Amino acid sequence: MATAEHPRTPNGFNLVPPPGWDVIPLHTGTQEAMDRIIRKAVAQLPVDFPKDDIPKARLKLNQEMKKVIRRASAKGGMTLYLPTERLHGFALPVSIVASEPIEIPRVRSDSGPEAVLAALASVTPGAVTRTLDDTAALRSEREVPADVAQGVDVAHRRVEYFVPVPDSAPDRYLTFAFSALIAPDTDPAFYDTLVELFDAVMGTFRWSYA
């Protein structure tokens, strides 16, 4: 993305996931990442897990991962972050998806990302501005109820960061979406902790340059 006219336009970004998470690229190397994660999961099975059931467990995990990957890809995802190690024996029902940059035309020649973020903040309940690597970004949080008709099988907590790419022409924006499935009768404080984890991950965000 770097050009002579825009020498400081980043060509990508870096994000540090928590320990026990894996990164799945959604353009190239997807299958290789899936195979690595499945091998790790099988290696973590209890020693008393029936060996005859391992192929079935491997197949189920493969199917579940493909489902998550299809959904992320369908929404323009380019990188998927998933927890692949259990926390105190519990599998975290969360994911992070970094989506392809989108272009938003300027309303006026003298307007820019700041105007777009302000307009979005004015119509997005609970939206707040944050700074990521010296870049103003918009953060929003909401609970999404289950709605099978809309393709939402399970209610979830959703947090999004909308980040303009510095000095891009035309103006381009990245989206980072965190989703935590909401199980019935679970303490809301648990989801607050998961959201804090995502905010901490976004705190590691850095632009990369060629």
The CATH code belonging to domain 93-210 is 3.40.1000
Whole-number pLDDT of residue 50:
92
The residue extents of the domains of the chain are 24-84, 93-210
Q: In whole angstroms, give the CA distance from residue 50 to residue 163.
A: 47
Give residue 77's pLDDT: 95
Report pLDDT for 5: 47
Whether 146 has a pLDDT exceeding 80, the answer reads no
Does 156 score more than 90 pLDDT?
no
Count the alpha carbons within 13 Å of 36 in the hemisphere toward its beta carbon: 11
Of 5 and 131, more confident: 131
Taking alpha carbons only, the member of 155, 148, 123, 153 closest to residue 138 is 123
Q: Report d(CA 160, CA 127) in Å as an integer.
A: 9
How far is Cα 201 from Cα 86, in angstroms, rounded to an integer?
18
Beta-carbon contacts of residue 30 (< 8 Å; ≥ 6 apart): 24, 69
Instruction: Tell me what percent of the residues of the chain surpass a pLDDT of 70.
Output: 90
* CA 200 to each of CA 15, 78, 110, 205: distance values in angstroms, whole numbers, following the listed order: 10, 21, 34, 9
Model confidence, pTM: 0.86
Q: Using one digit for the tens of pLDDT, what is the confidence trace for 66-76?
A: 988 998 999 89
- Condensed to tens digits (0 to 9), the pLDDT of residues 47-69 reads 899 999 999 999 999 998 998 89
Is pLDDT at 92 greater than 60 in this prediction? yes
